[in-house]
Structure 1
Amino acid sequence: MTQTDDFGFGTQIRKSPYFDATVRWGAQGFSVYNHMYIPRDFGNPEQNFWNLVNEAILCDVAVERQVEITGADAAKFVQMMTPRDLSKMAVGQCKYILITNADGGILNDPILLRLAENHFWISLADSDILLWAQGLAVHSGMDVSICEPDVSPLQLQGPNSGLIMQALFGEEIMDLKYYWHRELELDGIPLIVSRTGWSSELGYELYLRDSSYGDALWERIMAAGMEYGLKPGHTSSIRRIEGGMLSYHADADINTNPFELGFDRLVNLDMEAEFIGKAALKRIKEEGVTRKQIGLIIDCDPLQGPNTTFWPINKGDETIGKVTSAVYSPRLKQNIALAMVSVDHAVLGADVEVVTKSGPTRATMVEFPFYDPKKQIAAA
C-alpha cells in the first residue's frame, strides 16, 4: 500500500493523474474542487507566492475539468451558453467567458478553447457545467455531442515559465501568443499547450490528453525546470487577489450578474445570436445594478491566511455588503480584499467597517486590481 492509497474521503472524490507526484513533491493538504482533490498546501503560502512571482511554480489543476462539445452545431451551441460574442473566435484561440442562466446569473467563468471548427473545450471553474450543457442539449434540436474527455491540465506559471517551456519544446514555443493554444507532443505525451493561467503572471497550461502519462509529465517538467528555480506549488490566493481574479463561489455565484463585476466587455447584447440570459441581462443593464464589486484595503494586523467566511461591511449602523476574498499581500504590505457592496455606497476613498474574525476594523474602498492592473506581466 502506497502512502496515498488511504488518503481522502472515498471514491466519490477523484484524484488527478498528478496526485501521487504532488504528494512526493511535498503537498501537505488538499481541498475539493469540481469533485476532485486539489493541492492547497506545500508548506508556506507566502513562500509559494514568492516562488511564483520570482521564478516559477508547477500546479496540479486537473480540477479544471473539461466539457468537450463537438458536432455540426457545436459553435452555435457554445454561443448559446455565453453572452460573449464568439463570432470572430479562431481555431487555436482561447477566450475567458461567462456562462449565464436565464436570470443572467453566472454559473461559471471558464476558459473556452477552440480546437477545430466544431470542436471546443470548456475549461471549468468550480461548478457542474457538464450537466448543464447536457441538459441544454436535450431539447436544443442541435447536432452536438457533449462529454468529459480524458484531459488533465497543469499550470506552469511565473517569470521563468517561458525559459522552462523553451527547454521542453524549443524556441518555437515563444511564438505562442497570449490566450492562444497549440497541439504538441513531449516525449510522446499528447498535449494541448496554452498561454493562459490563474496567476496574473506569465504562464502556460499543459492539457494532458492521456491520464496514464500523469506521473511522467509532472516529473519531466520538474526536471527541466530545476535550473530555473521551478518549485511544486499551488494556485496563489495572494497573487490572484492582487490581480483581481475571481474565485467562483467566493467572488461570484449563481446570484451574481456580469454587470455587478464590471464585466460589460464579456456581454454583447447587440449580437444577433440568442444566448441564455439575454433578455434578463438587457433588463438588468437598463435598470442598473444594485451592487458593485470593489477593492478594499483592510487596516489591521496582517491576516493569517484568506478569509473563510463572508465578512460583513458596515457603514454606520447599516450593513452595505460583504468581503468575498481577503488576504495579506507581503509585496504590498497590506491586507487587500475583493468585496461586493451596495452601489449607493461604492465610493472610492470612502471608509467603512469590516467585521473580521478578530472583530470590527477600519477599511478603505479602492480601485483594483491591486498590482499590474493592465495585466502587462501575463500578456508580455
Structure 2
Amino acid sequence: MTDLLGHQFTETAVTAPPATARTPTTAPSPQILLYTRLRKSPYFWKSRAHGVAMYSVYNHTYHPRHYGDPVAEYWHLLDSVTLWDVGVERQLEISGPDAFDFTNMLVPRDLHKCAVGQCKYVFITAPDGGIINDPILLRVDENRFWLSLADSDVRLWAMGLAHTGGWDVEIKEVDVAPVQVQGPRSKEVMVELFGESVLDISYYYLRPYTLNGMDVVVSRTGYSGEVGYEIYLYNASRDADQLWDAVWQAGEPYDIRPIGPCHIRRIEAGMLSYGSDITLDTNPMEVGYDYRWMVDLDQEADFIGKDALRRVRETGVSRLMVGLEIGGDPLGSYNDGSMIEPFEVVEPSATHRASIGRVTSACYSPRLERNIGLAMLDIDFTQLGTNVVVETPSGPQAGVVVEKPFVDPGKRTPRS
C-alpha cells in the first residue's frame, strides 16, 4: 500500500490481546500515596517512626489508623496507657469582640453555660439542622475559642458566615496540635509531665502549662471512653518532636505504646464518627436520645438551624440511631479495612425484606465477645429487642436492637 506521501508499506494485521489480558484485578490492600499534596500532622515523622501500618486522610491530613494490630492496641488501651497522634484535629480559633456571640450562633449548645477553662462536645449545625461537624469546643479565654475539628471544612463555613454577617471576629487555623494520652495509667504519665496539679483538672476542663519551655493546654478529654487527656501544643510546627519525645520518655516506665484512634472502644462507648455515623444529612435529634442534651432549643439566643430543629422536635424523627448486636462470624476492628461500606439492614420477614436502615459503624468487641454496631434505623424498628437482618460481608445475619453505649453507659470510667 502507498500512503499520501508515496511511501510504500506493508499492511500488518493487528490482533486483539487475549481477553484475559484485559481482565481487571483488584489489589487486596491498595496503598495510600504519601506525597506533597496532602498535609502532614506536626507529629507525622515521630508517629511514623513507630511503624504506622495504615493511614487514612482526615482534614486533608494523613492520619495514623493503626500500627499493625488493632486488637492488641485495644487491649493496651484498656490495660495501660497509649499515645495518639491526633494532629489532624485542626484548631480553628475564633477571637475578637464578637467571638462569644458568633460562636454561640454556630452551635446548638448554650455557651453561657461554658466557662473560661471549660470544654464542650458540640455539634455545628446547618440551616436545615444537618450536622456540619462535631468538634470539641475549648473556651481558652473570655473571647477566644478553639474548635478541635472533626473531618469537614468548618473554617470555610465560619469565614463565610462571619463575612456575610459583618461579625467583628478573627477566624484562623492556629499552629496548635494535640496528642492524646489515653488509658488507665494516663494519670501517672501526666503527673510525671506536669505534676500533681494535673489531677485537679475535671472532666471536660482545661488548664495551661509550660513544659520544658513549651506552652501547652491540657484538657481532660479524649476519644477513647477511657481515662485520658489531650495535650494541645502551641508552636506545634516547631516543637512537635520535643513534645512527643517528652511524653514518650515519661510514659516508658508505664509501658506506653502508640496507637491509632481505637474504633472498637469508641463503638463500645457509642461515640460518633463524623462521615460515618453522622453527616450533613443527619440532624442531632436522629443520633440517639443520649445526644439530645446537646441541643438547647429553649435558650434565648438564636443559632443556625434552630427553627429547623424546633420543627423536628415538634413533628418527631422518622429514624433513630440505635445499638445493634449482630450475629455471624467476628467482624473486624472497623479501622482495619473490614468495613468499606455501611451494612444494609432489612426487615426480618422471610417474604418481604425491605430496607429499614444501615449499620454505620461495626466491629467485634473482644471483651463482650460479640459483634456490635451503631445503626440508623427507621423509627418503627428502634425499640429495644427488635429483631432485624444485617447484610454483612459474610451474608445476612440476625441483629437485635440493644442499649447503647454497649459499655459504661454512665461514662464512669473517663470521669474517674
With the shorter chain as reference, the TM-score category is over 0.9
What is the Cα deviation at residue 11 of structure 1? Answer: 2.2
Structure 1 residue 141 displacement after superposition? 2.1
Q: TM-score, normalised by structure 1?
A: 0.97
Q: Secondary structure at the match of 2:113?
A: coil
Conserved 8 A contact 2:95-2:170: yes
Q: Tell me the SS of whatever aligns to 1:26.
A: coil
**How many residue pairs get matched?**
374
Find 1:309's aligned residue among 341, 363, 373.
341
Q: 1:268 is aligned with what amino acid?
A: D
- Give, in whole Å, the separation in 1 of the partners of 2:193 and 2:178: 16
Structure-2 residue corresponding to 1:128: 153
In the alignment, which residue of structure 2 is the partner of 1:215?
Answer: 241
2:205 is equivalent to residue 180 of structure 1: yes
Judge conservation of contact 2:329–2:394 (CA < 8 Å) in 1: no
2:47·2:85 contact (CA, 8 Å) conserved in 1? Answer: yes
**Deviation at 1:356?**
0.7
Q: CA deviation at 1:9?
A: 4.2
- Identify the residue that residue 118 of structure 1 maps to in structure 2: 143
Q: Deviations over 1:57-105 (max 9, x none)?
A: 1000011101100000100000000111111211100001110000000
> Which ranges in structure 1 are unaligned for 5 or more consecutive residues?
1-6
- Among candidates 259, 268, 272, match of residue 242 of structure 1: 268
| 8 Å Cα contact 1:192-1:206 kept in structure 2 | yes
1:138 aligns with 2:163: yes
The one of 233, 246, 254 aligned to 1:228: 254
Are residues 1:354 and 2:379 paired? no
Contact residue 93 and residue 114 of structure 1 kept, 8 A: yes
Larger radius of gyration: 2
- How far off its partner does 1:357 sit? 1.2
User: Match of 2:359?
Assistant: 323
Letter in 2 for 1:335: N
SS at match of 2:230: strand
- Secondary structure of 1:362's counterpart equals strand
- Distance in 2, matches of 1:182 and 1:26, equals 32
- The aligned counterpart of 1:295 is 323
Contact 2:210 2:216 in 1 (8 A): yes
The Cα of 1:189 is off from its aligned counterpart by 1.2
Do residues 377 (structure 1) and 393 (structure 2) align? no
Deviation at 1:305, TM superposition (A): 3.2
Identity of aligned residues (%): 50
Residue deviations 1:188-246, cap 9 Å, x none? 11111100000010000001111211111111111110111211111101000000000
Which whole-Å CA distance do the structure 2 matches of 1:283 and 1:32 have between them? 36
> Displacement of 1:10 after TM fit?
3.0
Partner of 1:251 in structure 2?
Answer: 277
Q: How does 1:1-380 map to 2 (within 5 A)?
A: 8-210=33-235, 211-261=237-287, 262=289, 263-306=291-334, 307-315=339-347, 316=349, 317-380=353-416
Match for 2:278: what amino acid? A
**Root-mean-square deviation over aligned CA pairs:** 1.0
TM-score normalised by L of structure 2: 0.89
User: One-letter code of the match for 1:354?
Assistant: V
Task: Name the counterpart of 1:3.
Answer: none
Give yes or no for contact 1:250–1:324 (8 Å, CA) kept in 2.
yes
- Structure 1 CA distance, aligned partners of 2:54 and 2:283? 33
Structure 2 gaps of 5+ residues are: 1-31
Q: Deviation per CA, 1:233-291: give whole Å up to 9, x if none.
A: 11101000000000001110001111111222111111111100011001111110000
Distance in 2, matches of 1:88 and 1:366, equals 33
Q: What SS does the corresponding residue of 1:223 show, helix, strand or coil?
A: helix
CA contact (8 A) 1:100 1:106 kept: yes
CA contact (8 A) 1:83 1:278 kept: yes
